[in-house]
Amino acid sequence: LHTEFTWHTSHLKNPKELISRIAGTAKSLKASTDNSAIFRQGWKVMFTNPIIWFRNAIQSFQNIIKTLGGKEVMDGLNAEILSDRYYDMAKTGKLDVAKIMTEEPFPAQWIKKVPVLGRIYKASEVAFTAFVQKTRFDVFKTYIDAAIKSGVDLNKAELISIGKMVNSLTGRGHLGGIEPVAGFVNNVFFSPRLLKSNIDVLTAHAFQKGASSFVRKRAAINLVKIISGTAAIMATANA
C-alpha cells in the first residue's frame, strides 16, 4: 500500500494534483467495504420507484459476491445498457450511464492493485456503480414510457430535461459553472454531485433551466412521495 501510494504521489506535477490525489484516496477508502448506495443514493428511488429499487438492491449484494469471485460485472452491465433500445435516448438525454466513469465516492483507482484490499475495494465499487447506473437507466426508461403514454414529444430538449431529473433522482446532480473542475471538487469535498442532486429534488427542479412541464410535474410528485415516505419512517422510529 505504501509503495503504490508513493509511486502515484511522486508522479504528481503540482500541489493541486497532490491534494486531489490524497483527498481522493482518503475518500475512496472511507466509501469502500460497504454497500451504501442502496440507501445513500437510492433513498429517493426507494420511495418513487420501489420495485426498481428493491430489484437492484438485491442484485447489488449478488454483484459483490460475483466480483469477489473474479467476474467482471460492469462489463456485462455496460453491454446490457448499450444494447438496450432506450440507450440512444439516454445518450441524447445525457443520462450518466455506460460511460468510462466512476461514481463520486470512488475517485482513487490505484487501490485496486493492492493485494486483498484491492479486491474488496473493487467489489464495493462495483456494487455501488452497478446499482446506481442500473437504477438510473431503469428509472429513465420508466419515465420515457410515461412520457410516451402522455403524448409528450420526446425531442432532444425533452430528453435532456428527463435525463437531468433522473440523474438527480439517483444522486448525480450537475455542478453548473464548476463542472470543468468537478474532479478536483469531488476529491476534496465529499459527494458534491449528491448534494446538488438533493437540492434539485427538494426544489422539484424549479431552478432547472429548460425543465419541461412533464418533468416539473413528475418532480413534484416525486417530492411528495419522498417526503411522505421519509416522514412515515421517522414517525415510526420516533414511536
Q: What is the 3-state secondary structure (H, E, C) of 65-77?
A: HHHHCCCCHHHHH
Contact status, residue 60 vs residue 141, Cβ threshold 8 Å: no
Contact status, residue 67 vs residue 122, Cβ threshold 8 Å: yes
Specify the pLDDT at position 147.
97
Is residue 7 very low, low, confident or very high in pLDDT (cuts 50, 70, 90)? very low
Specify the pLDDT at position 144.
98
| Average pLDDT of the segment spanning 44-65 | 96
Query: Which residues are CB-neighbours of 198 under 8 A, at least 6 positions away?
Result: 173
Specify the pLDDT at position 135.
97
pTM value is 0.80
Q: Is 109 helix (H, G, I), strand (E, B) or coil?
A: coil
Instruction: Find where cell 509511486 sits.
Output: 7
Contact status, residue 130 vs residue 60, Cβ threshold 8 Å: yes
Specify the pLDDT at position 233.
96
Higher pLDDT, 117 or 50: 50
The overall average pLDDT reported for the chain is 82
Contact status, residue 20 vs residue 187, Cβ threshold 8 Å: yes
| Average pLDDT of the segment spanning 25-33 | 57
Is residue 122 very low, low, confident or very high in pLDDT (cuts 50, 70, 90)? confident
